Structure 1
Amino acid sequence: MTDSSRPDRIDDPVIARMQSVRTALGLLATVWLLFAYPLRVRRQSFVLGKLEELLIGCGIVLVAAVVGVGVFIVLAREPLGRTYAGRIGGPLCALGAIPLGAGVVWLMAAALGGDIVSLGDVGPHDFTFGLFGTTVGTMITGLVIGLLFVLAALACAAVLVAAVCFTLAAAVKGMNSCFRTGDVHELLPALLSPLLVWSLYGLQLFDGADVAAPPVVIHTFSLGGPLSVTLLSLWEVRRLRIRHGVTLRSALGR
């Protein structure tokens, strides 16, 4: 759902490799910072804060993607406008993957917490129809129901872990590809990525640092992401123009 699927899309392996390297370096830098300096906040607050930033980033990309795709469709000459409009299925699938995963996470968490059904909701029953007596039958039924609840809890826990991993992967891959807006046109991810990272950088300016690191380290780390993404986007636009003849003018049919 989060991977590009348009068969005629220009697939430059060098661009894809550089994007993967950028993501890997960003993750390594984050891990190094966390191990090198102590956290200013509790681990739970740190994790929740990062998840909040991820959701905010998804919202920013969503708005930017809607505006970017809408501008492309409106400004492009026919028949390019209809062509771009017919390609929005990929971005919609990438966007839908996150609320789908989050919904499954919420449902499994509610099930494990007993908010949907619990042992207290079942009550005493005798599924043996009195074959072993009322007392024994109730005990056997209770054991069976308890075993079913244990199996259901294990299944819910497994689905919860899978849903969390899926949601995080969908969010990271979605933001990395700007939610498959490259399916509409190859230039859109390069144009939208800097907007995303600089918006997140602006939001971080209003929050305190998560780790007790020197200011020079914090500022270098904070600016490293936006600057690297911007430079990579400019390089990507240049490579698409030189290697594949893709320009904004040609994309709009101007």
Structure 2
Amino acid sequence: MSRPVPAGLYPVLLPVLLLLSPLVALYSLARSARLAAWRVFVRGSAPAPVHDPRVARLKTVRTWAAVAVTIAVVVALGNAQDVGQHLTEQWVTLLLAPWLLIASGPVVLGVLIWLAPPARRATMRTALRGPLRQLALFFGTLALIPALFYGVDLLNPSHAGGNLGILLVLASLAAGAWSVFLFLFASVTVVRTGFGTAAVHPATPALLTSVLVWEIAAIGGLPGGPPALAYVLLVGGPATVTALSCWEISRLRSRYGVRLRG
């Protein structure tokens, strides 16, 4: 049997609950948006023709190692300006990566289709329907943000009086936040899956990832911090990703018989 909360604790618990409630609401919105992005861009797409658990585990290890290095660099810098610059670079990378992928994807896919035997090219071109569908859905997540804000502006919920107006304003803010979360999680998902281009050729995601990391490194320039550390971060990240991609392509050839020209 649960014991009632002492009346003297209410003045202490109420400010804590008021402080935590927006954070809990944001977490719920982010979790819902992440699930929606997974359903649309992962579960709703065709499964990859080849799944190598060993490669998947090493990619996970590499991702967490990159996170640990980022945290260590932020802690070691100590300088607020360098820390702010480093965090800004991470956000710019997140927002820039899908668009670089959209620009580079047709080139990589075109080369792979050109290298393939003539008998395979028609099948590969047909498999492009899945990536094109994911591309259209990604643009839809981006268009959802201004569409929601424009709809809220047309409805103008602040003109509604009393509690109804407050509820409409909160609902509008929640919808806008959810759309932003959806776009961010969609960006992460399409970069990780390469818009489902593995359906065209199993080596496409690895090739796209290698091209993408070097493009980001070239556009972003030197990270913040001491020059020696900045050069290590600039080259080390893309180099490790490229090495992992080469190993993945090698395993596709040796274990699954998948060749770049096949």
TM-score, normalised to structure 2, is: 0.72
CA shift for structure 1 position 221: 2.0
Gaps of 5+ in 1: 123-141
Contact 2:49/2:199, CA 8 A, preserved across alignment: yes
Shift of 1:215: 1.9
Structure 2 gaps, min length 5: 1-39
Residue of structure 2 in register with 1:148 after alignment: 164
Conserved? CA contact 1:91–1:179, under 8 Å: yes
Structure 1 position 41, deviation (Å)? 6.8
Per the TM alignment, residue 224 of structure 1 is displaced from its structure 2 partner at its CA by: 2.1
Give the greater-gyration-radius structure (CA).
1
**Alpha-carbon separation, structure 2, partners of 1:42 and 1:67:** 35
Residues 237 and 89 (structure 1), Cα distance of their counterparts in 2 relative to 1, 3 Å cut: same
Between the two structures, name the one with larger relative contact order (CA 8 Å, sep ≥ 6).
1
Superposed CA RMSD: 2.8
Q: Deviations for 1:81-132, whole angstroms, at most 9, x for unmatched residues?
A: 12111212322233234332222233344566xx434367x5xxxxxxxxxx
2:70 is aligned with 1:40? no
Within the alignment, does 1:225 sit opposite 2:241 as a pair?
Answer: no
Number of the residue aligned with 1:118: 156
The residue that corresponds to 1:2 in the other structure is 41
State the 1:238 CA deviation.
Answer: 0.9
Counterpart of 2:229, as a letter, is V
Q: How does 1:192-211 map to 2 (within 5 A)?
A: 192-205=208-221, 209-210=223-224
The answer to whether the 8 A contact 2:145-2:176 is kept is yes
TM-score (norm 1): 0.74
Letter in 2 for 1:191: L
Question: Which residue is equivalent to 2:105?
Answer: 65
SS at match of 2:194: coil
Alpha-carbon deviation of 1:59? 2.0
- Change in Cα spacing, 1:181 to 1:214, as seen in structure 2 (3 Å) is same
- 2:115/2:260 contact within 8 Å kept: no
Kindly indicate whether the alpha-carbon contact (under 8 Å) linking 2:112 and 2:260 is maintained by their aligned counterparts in 1.
no
Partners of 2:173 and 2:66 in 1: CA distance: 30
Mapping for residues 1-254 of structure 1, pairs under 5 Å: 1-3=40-42, 5-7=45-47, 9-37=49-77, 38-40=79-81, 50-110=90-150, 115-118=153-156, 143=161, 146-205=162-221, 209-210=223-224, 213-249=225-261, 251=262
Determine the C-alpha separation between the residues in 1 that align with 2:47 and 2:214: 31
Is the alpha carbon distance of 1:14 and 1:248 closer, same or farther for their aligned partners in structure 2, counting shifts above 3 Å? same
Identity of aligned residues (%): 29
Q: State the distance in 1 between where 2:80 and 2:223 align.
A: 9
1:97/1:167 contact within 8 Å kept: no
Please say if residues 135 and 195 of structure 2, whose CA atoms lie closer than 8 Å, have aligned partners that are also in contact: yes
Count, aligned residues: 221
TM-superposed CA distance for 1:68, in Å, is: 1.8
